[in-house]
Chain A
Amino acid sequence: MKPLLRLWYRHSPQLFISELLEKRWMEPIVPFILMCVVFLIFIVSIPGYTSLIQLQQLMRSFPEQAFVAMAMALSILSGGIDLSVAAVFAMANFIALYLLQVLGLPFPVAVLGTLLWGACIGAVNGGLIAYGKTRPFLTTIVVLIIVRAAYNKLTAAFALELASGYADSPVWDFVGVGLIWGIPVNMACLVVIGIVAHLYLTRIRSGVHIMAVGSSRKAARHAGINVKRSLFTTYVLAGMLASFAGLLYAARLNSAGTDTGVGWEINALAAAVVGGISLDGGRGTISRALMGAAIIFLLINGLVQLGTHGSLTTATIGFILLAAVGFNIKFVKNKGKILQKIYVSPSYVEFTPPASIARDSGSVFAENDRLKDVEAVALDRIEGPEDVILDQDDHLYTVNRNGSIIRFLAPDYQEREEFARIGGRPLGLALDRDKNILACVAGMGVYGVRPDRTVFKVAEQTNRTWNRLKDDSRLWLADDLDVAPDGKIYFSDATTRYDLSDWALDGFEGRGNGRLVCHDPATGKSRTILKNLAFPNGVCISHDGMAVLWASTWLCRIYRYWIAGERTGELEILVDNLPGYPDNINRASDGNYWLAFVGLRAPVYDLAMADPAFRSRMVKQIPPDEWLCPGLNYGCVIKFDDAGSVLESLWDPGAESHPTITSMREHKGYLYIGGLENNRIGRLKLPAADKEWTGWESYWGKKRRDGRKDQTAAAGEGGTHVARS
């Protein structure tokens, strides 16, 4: 039963749904599904609906409505509305026929004339709305009435000439009935112009300006966009799109009836809204407008083909519009809320009771007071030194919450200076062979600072997991790193589902959301070497350079991953069932390793980890400040060796000076202690330690204990050190 439970919670459908909801392409999912459903229903209920001729017929009559819908969508995206599109369309139809058939002008002139008409009426709309500051809705309704009346008058006046006229133009006929590779010409036009319009709105400056004005007029003005000109352009373009539709209509049907384009503005508005284009402007795409237009078109067309009573068709359309839009509005509005409720999806983690930490228990973890009287360095002059490191000149480097690397100068560490500013939230630090400081920066990746203080990027992405919905190619929460003898940088990306501010939520999940990544400076590429790790935190290369030790915070384990020698690629648990949540691991001078406990385990929280349903109820139903959390307010550092046995522990029982210890670094007989939320760096004298030992010497200098004899010989300078020792 338990393995099943474990499996269920590990691949919970909740996880899938929450990551699905996060995708941006989920926004128009309702209109898209509606379109497919409508199409499918008619395929099933109308025989021969998908025959070639029928499809060509559909494609021939769709583009005109689609263009009108596009014109409408454009105006809505700019934050206004253009209800005159249908009347402009009808008038353009008349003008095209008039120019070609009555006046007998050549085809290009007719096209230009028709488009000119659209541009002119668009200029009237745009001029009034942008420069006359009139309201788009009313203005375009009035233009609709006037143009419609003029159209009716003109078609009545020229009825005879239009009926008897004939355009002797093969191009005209081709536009009307021609096919390009089996696709009607006007459909081809729609595809081309649709793509152009999409690129215009997303890539071209003036198009992007239209979207900006629609999103927020004020912000657009503040950004220096000429709001009035953008609006003017919008209506001119909308007019031209509508008149182009009129041209296609004229070519296809050669008639100007009294009902041409009547009510199309309503269909177009419906198309835009059903497609999910927000009436508030600025939100939507051309593809959504076309999707909406397709829904309306297929619906009307299909219902007519089914022989439905005309008025029932109308009623159905009205009903479907209301239902679809209502659902869409509620869906878009509540998507965030749903996501919030279901995003945290806990998994099943089972613990056994750890070794006792009681003072008189006699275990190696027994509480003591060794950290109680630690000397405070940089008291109140640093905020959140997650990691500390010292260079060969004994200067102390640490990270600050505001995204900078701070240096305290030796010997008394009184003088403070901002060594470099990276941004983000720097966490783990390491020194490479060239004495560059490498830092993991949450939300950004891995960055380096040269001794001359220039900042450089090491890695910001790794390979993406292809079978996962969420794009995890970016480094999400790079936490700690270390450099192997061959120069490769191993670092942990603690979780790919949460930002640093929500890192505790990852704890409620207890799932393997993190990964271990290797960056090879030689190729400049990063590669995920281990994935699905439960909050991989501290990373340390073993003294012999053969393995990476890393701590899994939520599973309370230290793992060893072999990177050299005959066991390369093997992963094993080195220390299991720690009584606290492990954070950074760093080398000790005696060939062992220091490990910081960021918090302590408690029986009740262990119990909660074995009950995922409880944790998801907790996250859903009670406010965050009442959540059951891991006990973070303890201070403890332990030491363990390569065999996985814990040697000693150092405690600050009340955690008055050093709660939430995340890092400790040994340097010349002292241990420097940093914490994620602390206001100081602790400095503890280690009487028995090697007074000459420094971290850099241990990695790159004469204190090295390298197990990779064969490889380091090739590594130049490093090899000579080994030979000397």
Chain B
Amino acid sequence: MSDTAVPSARAGGYRPNQAVIVLGLTATLFVLLGASLPGFLALGNLFTLIRGVSILGILGLGMAVVVIGRGIDLSQIATLAVSAAIAVTLVNSGMPVSVGLAIGLVIAVVIGIANGFLISVIEIPALFTTLASTLFILGVTRAFVVPHYQVFLEPGHETFLTLGGALDNGLPMPVVAFVLAAVALHLFLSRTVLGRFIYAHGDNAQAARLSGIATRPLTMLEYGICSAFGYLGGAIMVASTSLIHLQIAESTMIFDVILVVVLGGVSLVGGRGNVLSVVAGTLLIGVLLNAMTILNLDLQTQDMIKGTVLLVAIMADSYFHPRDEETAKQGD
């Protein structure tokens, strides 16, 4: 298309980074809400705000790795739920916390790698693979391991619960975990060879393969990392609430994660965006969710508002990142 060939001319020379736009939008919204909503600026509420979205942020970090590599993982929440539920069940049955958590991590990573295998070696589209594997792992887990939707962590595992608590200065642990994860992922993506390979893979998978990158193991790595981050989010979820609910896998939470990732500018065409994008997206969604909670809107209305915001974000994305529809792949 002729107009996609000269995007810079349309933007008038300077085009702000999408993450920066989103951060600006978040700040504006923050000021507006702070001025209009009583109690929004209270320190307690602010902690609740970032605490509430830090899990979403951690999941978003994992998802970003896959999306940067031009994939998508719709099974992230299911993996999280399944591996965390199994870990909790093991811990409940008397296994040491560290061992139980390690086994959960291994399960999550194995599921991720299996997804990556199906996508890269069998060449089933990512969208479909992760959709079907969601059904499979959830079904198997519920049939053989966790018969009920909810798994409670039995009392007596305080070391585990500190993961969901707060530091001495009141900073919630989930937030600390989010920050640490974000820094670690940032370093990985921008400073290591493998991280750059992931960008290369997402930018042009064929070119990456031809220049000697082993894209199949790389794909498995991407999905493995995504699942591992998902598992971290799941562990924090359990530590915060002493409970894992398998039904989150059937909720719209996965779309929230995608929303967080896409909002900040990790484009689904792959190879674009970075950790800052995810942080920006997380903050915007956090502010939005928090405001809606304070306004006491019901879940459906929240979904509708969220959806509308997402729709606007998508339209903005396709305006700022015009893609060539004629060479686009399914799932973009």
Question: A residues engaging B (CB < 8 A)?
Answer: 76, 79, 81, 128, 132-135, 137-139, 141-143, 145-146, 148-150, 152-153, 156, 216-218, 221, 263, 266, 269-270, 273, 279-281, 309, 311-319, 321-322, 325-326, 329-330, 333
Contact = CB atoms under 8 A, between A and B. Distances in A.
Interface string B307-319: 1101100110110
Contact of A318 (B135, B299, B303, B329): B135
Nearest to A330: B122
B326 A270 contact: no
Interface in B112-135: 118, 122-125, 127-129, 131-135
Nearest to B259: A142
A379 B298 CA distance: 90
B262 interface: yes
Contacts of B142: 309, 311, 314
A138 B268 contact: yes
Contacts of B122: 326, 329-330
Interface in B244-266: 250, 252, 255, 258, 262
| Ranked 3 nearest A-B pairs via Cβ | A315-B139, A318-B136, A318-B135
A134 B314 contact: yes
Interface string B293-332: 0000011111110111011001101100011011111111
A330 B131 CA distance: 19
B300 A312 contact: no
B183 interface: no
B143 interface: yes
Contact of A315 (B123, B127, B135, B327): B135
B182 interface: no
Interface of A is mostly: helix
Contact of A134 (B299, B303, B318, B326): B318
A133 B298 CA distance: 32
Question: Taking chain B's interface residues, is the majority helix, strand, or loop, or is none over half, making it mixed?
Answer: helix
B139 A142 contact: no
Contacts of B250: 263
B301 A149 contact: yes
B318 A137 contact: no
Q: Which of A81, A142, A269 has the most CB of B within 10 A?
A: A142
7 contacts: A133-B322, A133-B325, A134-B315, A311-B138, A311-B142, A314-B139, A318-B134
Contacts of B327: 218
B315 A132 contact: yes
A270 B303 contact: no
B37 interface: no
B149 to A, nearest CB: 10
A321 to B, nearest CB: 4
B152 to A, nearest CB: 19
Contacts of A132: 315, 318
B143 A146 contact: no
Contacts of B132: 270, 318, 321-322, 325
- Interface size classification for chain B: 35 or more
A139 B314 contact: yes
Nearest to A325: B124
A156 B129 CA distance: 34
Given A146-B311, A149-B301, 19 more contacts: A133-B323, A134-B318, A135-B318, A146-B303, A153-B304, A218-B327, A279-B128, A309-B142, A309-B143, A311-B139, A311-B141, A311-B143, A312-B143, A315-B140, A318-B132, A318-B138, A319-B136, A322-B133, A333-B123
Nearest to A280: B330
A301 B304 CA distance: 33
Which of B124, B252, B323 has the most chain A CB within a 10 Å cutoff? B124
A79 to B, nearest CB: 7
Most buried by A among B118, B129, B303: B303
B330 A279 contact: yes
A272 to B, nearest CB: 9
Contacts of A156: 300
B303 A135 contact: no
Contacts of A221: 326
Given A135-B314, A152-B300, A318-B134, A146 B308 contact: yes
A138 B127 CA distance: 12
Contact of B300 (A139, A150, A269, A309): A150
Contacts of A135: 268, 314, 318, 323, 328, 332
A134 B325 CA distance: 9
A145 B331 contact: no
Contact of A322 (B136, B140, B331): B136
B252 A315 contact: no
**Residue from the set B131, B322, B327 with the largest chain A CB neighbour count within 10 Å:** B131
Residue from the set A137, A138, A312 with the largest chain B CB neighbour count within 10 Å:
A138
Contact of B252 (A143, A145, A312, A322): A145
Contacts of A317: 135, 139
B327 to A, nearest CB: 8
A604 to B, nearest CB: 42
B2 to A, nearest CB: 12
A139 B124 CA distance: 22
A218 B326 contact: yes
Given A142-B307, A149-B301, A330-B122, A133 B136 contact: no
Contact of B325 (A139, A153, A217, A330): A217
A285 to B, nearest CB: 18
Nearest to A263: B250
